[in-house]
Structure 1
Amino acid sequence: MQHTIENLTLKLNQQINFIYDGINIPLSPMQLATNLIGIMRLDSKTPAPVPFTNHWTEQDAVLITYGDSLEKKDGHNVLEPPLQTLNQFLQGPVREAFNSVHILPFYPYSSDDGFSVINYTAVNESLGDWSDINNIADKFRLMADLVINHCSSRSVWFDQFIKDEPPGNKFFKTGDAQADYSEVTRPRASPLLRETQTKIGQKLVWCTFSHDQVDFDFCNPDVLCEFVKIIRKYLDEGVKIFRLDAVAFLWKTNGTSCVNLPQTHEIIRLLRTLIEHACPDAVIITETNIPNQENLSYFGNANEAHSVYNFSLPPLLVNTLICGNSRHLRQWLMSMPPCQDGTAYFNFIASHDGIGLRPAEGLLSEPEINTLISTMMNFGGRISMRTLADGSLRPYEINIALFDALQGTTSGPDKFGLDRFICAHAVMLSLEGIPAIYIHSLLGTRNDYQRLENTQHNRHINRHRWDYDALNKELNKETSTHSAVFKRITDLLRIRRQQKAFHPNATQFTLQLSDELVGVWRQSIDRKQSIFCIHNITDQIVSLSFHELNLIEGVAWRDLISGDQLNQTKSTLTLAPYQSLWLSNL
């Protein structure tokens, strides 16, 4: 085992040398490597991780939620810590459908609903405490955010920066008023640099996202060490999945785009090295809301992120369903490389943010994106902007509840909203990768215009807070849309987790069907099960001949969703508007 630690030290030394090449750091790379091993409490008994191991199965599905998406209330008073309310919800029917939960930032924060962290090692007391997090982690695989690019301007570290006190005085990236930052990629419309008066004079602090979110300077290895301490803390509290928030912007070098730089990739590889030695079944997921090919680069050579957010799926799938044409989605599916063992796509349609438009660049034309935007605005959505190099603004994301986004087509609202919404999830659940469902999709939550008006923050349109008793009444009401959505999605998830052909790494082949259909063929790793997943993405009845599917004759094919046996005496299949079929040979 001593040999393992020696190999680990040498590997870390090599990674540190790459990251800090040309930078004068106080410790030698070998000393820094030894310190990191000590922080993670690795020793001669630490086993070496087995490469190319899949840490997931077809039974994996992630529920995405805020810690306070559900509240027990008496008027304006919250009656119990929301994390305890969430735990009660998770122990109900949800448990039959999900084995993992992503609790969005549950730390003390000053803005951005948690993503402007004041204290990384505490639980926001308005949500609960670490024991509440532990109780959830005991029953579910817990995913937590490592908000690694920036922290709150109200943090102790930034206060130290202002007072020129260690360690925070050297933790933050500063800029130069004379430098040219026109090439810097911006996800927001606010100015990049924030004027901040400190004890030693005025500083221009780098703020990629907002002036309350001040960017770290990872050129200082002390910042890296602090985050390794945070990772160790999260592992101790039961976190098994680390979501690296906004990690693409981590390393900044003047004269570059300051996104996707080589040092950023190497830091992710270093963090993975440490995490998988400390906890072999823990995984890293990178959140990089950028064009598709750039996003895929975060897999590295199966040595970087275990999983990447499949950011192109939401805009492409929503566009497919409102246009009734699968051509762009089909072409994209055909272009996506199958994941190596040890890596998997993280599939989602809706999130706490919105429908990102950068991941649609190069996949949808500008007129098509404009049509998507105008349709979503007709359904009550809002548009958030980003600043381009020339100072102009461009749409960055669509902010809308997914249920509202799919209440019609480019022709306007119609009667197929519920079926279209369920079809979207059936498509997503059939694809290669690990599925994740936002709590407000699971509950069929609508646009929250009141919260949007109260906060004037576009993203709050899709961040509703449910009164738990009111929600339970809706879920127990047979005529409730919320109940119908919840039942149909959880039914799909229960079916899915029993099918080996839906393993995240099972073979996927895109079927060449008409533009009115989306079809993929999945085959289990042991090649025993095949599932033909066929979805009518239009508001019309669509027929499909058996010959187009090339089904093996003599096999009893059954639709897993309806339970019906396929009648092979007929020559065609008929799909109702937005109907999905999962045809299995088992």
Structure 2
Amino acid sequence: MTQPLDQIKEKVEHHLAFIYDQVEDVNDYSAISERLLAAIGLSAENPPIIPESYRNLWDESDIMMITYGDSVIRENEKPLESLRYFLEKYCVNTINKVHILPFYPYSSDDGFSVIDYSTVNQSLGDWSDINALADEYGLMFDLVINHCSARSQWFQNFINGSGTGSDYFFTAKLDDDLSKVVRPRTSPLLKETKTAGGLEHVWCTFSHDQVDFDFRNPEVLIAFVKIIRDYLDQGATIFRLDAVAFLWKVVGSTCINLPETHETIRLLRTLIENVAPDAIIITETNIPNRENLTYFGNANEAHAIYNFSLPPLLVNTLVTGDCRYLKGWLMSMPPAQNGTTYFNFIASHDGIGLRPAEGLLTDNEIASLVQAMQNFGGRVSWRTSDMGQQKPYEINITLFDALQGTIKGPDKYQIDRFICAHAIMLGLEGIPGIYIHSLLATSNDYEKVENTGQNRSINRHRWDLEKLEKQLDDPTSQHHKVLTRLSQLIRVRKAQPAFHPNATQFTLQLGDSLFGYWRQSADRQQSIFCISNVADEAQTITLSDINLIGTDCWLDLITGEQINVADVVLNLAPYQTVWISNREE
């Protein structure tokens, strides 16, 4: 069903009135609204579609793979074609959504310093390759909305003082009070820039090659809505709002999570859902857990938020053999209401973020985790706290190497521990996202770190496809073993109604070495008890502790073995997971 254009226009004007209330010379909300509606493609001829409130746009079959466009390459072939080949050959009946990390021309940060939002990096392919992938998979595009490259034409126009972009960038004065600004980097915040109008100091939240936009100028907002429209036309079904927490700046404030930022997301949600009601917005906000949860709004901001606390808590659990912190966090997490969900991941192109563990792990626990990861070859990225202290911001390591042992050192359980991590993640409330290098059990790439000088390169290996295929065809290789076991887990997961991202979830109390939770399908016909031994010694479950109903037949979905309720205990090997269900799919 559609609705009159005037109704959506009025709603957009309300958003604008909130966003620009404190901005001088911005008050013609009617004119701005008209331009935004035109930019997104709404008109009297193409009226707004009435979105269905609290509708889940996902189910248990949704599994996303996170990858760069050139994570797998083959000689004389466009990398995006090689990626499509890999997906079609090795991800059959497992992956149905793909997050292709920024595939636009860029100058640094492996894509997150965008030079041109409108084109595909020619080293990867072109729009026809993106379109071909979009025909087979739900694609997540990055909307790098906080900043762009200092080498972009927009920023060159800023320097020249004329043309599109000349007034797109946020500047400050050296005597401004910037003491409260929260940043994830230790580099200077302001970039001294000579322009045709004189010396300016440009705001750079991340690096001096990544110059921040000034959303106080409505032209910036309109430009990004045009980009969104273009991405929809090219096949995007999911928008990842990169670093969006930093979008709005007010000198003298923290410049993170400001009310205007939240209202801007609500505005984008209004525009997107009225033209593409099946499209999904995911906010990438690598911040403490309580702040992260606010990006759901009242089911009117992000459809999904990254579960950033999961990676550090889960890795900490598996290297210590103690699930208390993970269990306490899970018990505190509110169920996502219909129309919203969590995006679960335990590895990505970035490292293991530690800010989302603040307040959940003690400083001593974080220090111990950092030390263990350094012992396994990891690197550490740092930030400056509001007290001027250097604090670990991120651990840079592949997940496979992060789980090669415990705080006691490496051991023989690396693959079992790695699979256990994914079994825990795959069963949790939310949509699972799996990094390609987790599927492939990729180890730390020290050579790339040395070549780039960037810690994050350790987990951004580029596979030669022919060499990779030889490894995947070798039953003795870690790559074959992990891909085989993960694929089997994923296929089982996708068939269970109780693993719907919004199905009921309760945390089980099984001690410190057994981590468990219970899921139940919406129709209450299926229950699954998900229990993992997170220790390097065998553990037993007393079946009476999980109250299996004696009239039902129970089996472990992972092994297919029947569970005899008359047995007193169930034995779990180190890092073994069971999915005990009353229904076989």
Q: 1:393 Cα deviation (Å)?
A: 1.6
Structure 2 CA distance for aligned equivalents of residues 299 and 3 of structure 1: 25
CA distance, structure 1, for counterparts of residue 418 and residue 184 of structure 2: 28
Partner residue, 2:74: 72
Q: Which of the numbers 426, 429, 446 marks the counterpart of 1:429?
A: 426
2:113 is equivalent to residue 108 of structure 1: no
Equivalent-residue separation in structure 2 for 1:2 and 1:302 (angstroms): 21
Aligned counterparts, 1:496-507, within 5 A: 496-507=493-504
- 1:368-414 per-position Cα deviation (integer Å, ceiling 9, x unaligned): 00000000000000000112234332110000000000000000000
Identity %: 60
User: Equivalent residue of 1:146, what SS?
Assistant: strand
- Could you tell me how far apart the structure 2 residues matched to 1:11 and 1:51 are? 16
CA RMSD of aligned residues (A): 1.0
Task: Return the offset for 1:92.
Answer: 1.6
Give the letter aligned to residue 224 of structure 1: L
Q: SS in structure 2 opposite 1:242? A: strand
Secondary structure, aligned partner of 1:533: strand
SS at 1:168's partner residue? coil
CA distance in 1, matches of 2:332, 2:338: 18
- Count of residues paired in the alignment: 581
Three-state SS of the structure 2 residue aligned to 1:231 is: helix
Q: 2:24 is matched with which residue?
A: 24
In the superposition, the TM-score normalised over structure 1's length comes to: 0.98
Q: Is 1:169–2:171 an aligned residue pair?
A: no
Superposed CA offset, 1:190-224 (max 9, x none):
00000000011110000000000000000000000
How many Å apart are 1:3 and its aligned residue?
4.4
State the partner residue of 2:81. 84
Matches within 5 A, 1:420-569: 420-569=417-566
Distance in 2, Cα, partners of 1:277 & 1:527: 33
Q: How does 1:110-189 map to 2 (within 5 A)?
A: 110-189=107-186
CA distance in 2, matches of 1:305, 1:159: 33
Q: Determine whether 1:360 maps to 2:357.
A: yes
Cα deviation for residue 2 of structure 1 reads 7.5
How many angstroms apart in 2 are the aligned matches of 1:89 and 1:38?
A: 39
Does the residue aligned with 2:4 lie in a helix, a strand or coil?
Answer: helix
Which residue in 2 is equivalent to 1:76? Answer: none
Q: What is the CA–CA distance in structure 2 between the aligned matches of 1:295 and 1:87, rounded to whole Å?
A: 33
1:167, CA displacement in angstroms?
2.6
Is 1:110–1:117's contact at 8 Å kept on the other side of the alignment?
Answer: yes
Runs of 5+ consecutive residues of structure 1 not aligned to the other structure: 74-78
Residues 25 and 220 in structure 1, CA contact (< 8 A), matched pair in contact too:
no
Compute the TM-score of the two structures, normalised by the length of structure 2. Answer: 0.98
Counterpart residue type for residue 58 of structure 2: W
CA positional deviation for 1:95: 3.0
Q: 2:260 aligns with which of 240, 259, 263?
A: 263
Separation in 2 of the partners of 1:87 and 1:427? 28
Aligned to 2:402: 405
Q: Does 1:370 align with 2:367?
A: yes
Amino acid at match of 2:99: H
Structure 2, unmatched stretches of 5+, are none
Letter in 1 for 2:208: H
C-alpha distance in structure 1 between counterparts of 2:4 and 2:320, whole Å: 55
Cα-to-partner distance string for 1:456-491 (whole Å, 9 max, x where unaligned): 100000000000011111111111110000011111
Q: Does 1:50 align with 2:52?
A: yes
Of 565-574 and 375-384, the range deviating more from structure 2: 565-574
Which runs of structure 2 are paired with 1:166-245 in the superposition (5 Å)? 166-245=163-242
Q: Residues of 2 paired with 1:470 and 1:379: CA distance?
A: 25
CA distance in 2, matches of 1:179, 1:24: 19
| CA shift for structure 1 position 30 | 1.3
After superposition, the C-alpha distances for 1:21-56 in whole angstroms (9 at most, x for unaligned) are 032345611111111111111134432111101000
Task: Name the CA distance, whole Å, in 1 between partners of 2:125 and 2:3.
Answer: 43
* Residue in 2 that maps onto 1:60: 62
* Cα distance in structure 2, aligned partners of 1:314 and 1:129: 33
The 8 Å contact of residues 4 and 48 in structure 1, kept in 2 or not, is answered as no
Work out whether residues 3 and 50 of structure 2, in 8 Å CA contact, stay in contact via their aligned partners in 1.
Answer: no
Residue 512 of structure 2 aligns to a residue whose secondary structure is coil
Counterpart of 2:6 in structure 1 is 6
Q: Is residue 2:323 matched to residue 1:326? A: yes
Alpha-carbon distance between aligned partners in 2 of 1:324 and 1:25, rounded to the nearest angstrom: 58
Q: Distance in 1 between matches of 2:314 and 2:323?
A: 8
* d(CA) in 1 for partners of 2:292, 2:582: 35
Say if 2:352 is the partner of 1:350.
no
Are the counterparts in 2 of residues 148 and 247 from structure 1 also a CA contact under 8 Å?
Answer: yes
